[in-house]
Amino acid sequence: MGLGRRYSYDLVVVIAVRDPDERLPFARREFQRNVPVQCRGISPGETMIRILAACAALAVCVPSAVFAETFATDDERAVAAADAAFYQATLKEQGAGWGEFADADASLPYAKGKAAIAAYYAKVYAQPGFSLSWHPEYAHVVGDVGVTSGPYEVHVLDKTGHDKKGTGKYVTVWRRQKDGSWRFAWDGGTEDR
For the segment 154-178, what is each residue's pLDDT rounded down to a tens digit? 999 999 999 999 999 999 999 999 9
Question: What's the pLDDT at 58?
Answer: 46
Question: What's the pLDDT at 61?
Answer: 42
Q: How confident is the model at residue 47 (pLDDT cuts 50, 70, 90)?
A: low
Residue 43 pLDDT > 80: no
Are the beta carbons of 127 and 139 closer than 8 angstroms?
A: no
Q: Is 100 helix (H, G, I), strand (E, B) or coil?
A: helix
Q: Is 64 helix (H, G, I), strand (E, B) or coil?
A: helix
Q: How confident is the model at residue 130 (pLDDT cuts 50, 70, 90)?
A: very high
Question: What's the pLDDT at 121?
Answer: 97
Residue 65 pLDDT > 80: no
Is 161 exposed, middle or buried (CB count within 10 Å of its CB: 0-12, 13-18, 19+)?
Answer: exposed
Residue 24 pLDDT > 60: no
Using alpha carbons, list the distances in angstroms from residue 149 to 25, 44, 83, 129, 159.
25, 25, 9, 25, 31
Domain boundaries, the chain: 6-191
Question: What's the pLDDT at 45?
Answer: 59
Question: What's the pLDDT at 5?
Answer: 38
* Phi and psi, residue 6, nearest 5°: -120, 125
Question: What's the pLDDT at 53?
Answer: 56
Strands across the sheet with 32-38, in order?
A: 15-17, 6-12, 32-38
pLDDT, mean over the chain: 77
Class of domain 6-191: alpha beta
Question: What's the pLDDT at 163?
Answer: 95
What one-letter code names the amino acid at 72? A
Q: Is 18 helix (H, G, I), strand (E, B) or coil?
A: coil
For residues 107-130, give the mean pLDDT. 96
Cβ count within 10 A of residue 31:
14
Backbone dihedral region for residue 93 (phi beyond 0: left; psi -120 to 50: alpha; all else: beta) = alpha
For the segment 66-118, what is each residue's pLDDT rounded down to a tens digit? 333 578 899 999 999 999 999 999 999 999 999 999 999 999 989 999 999 99
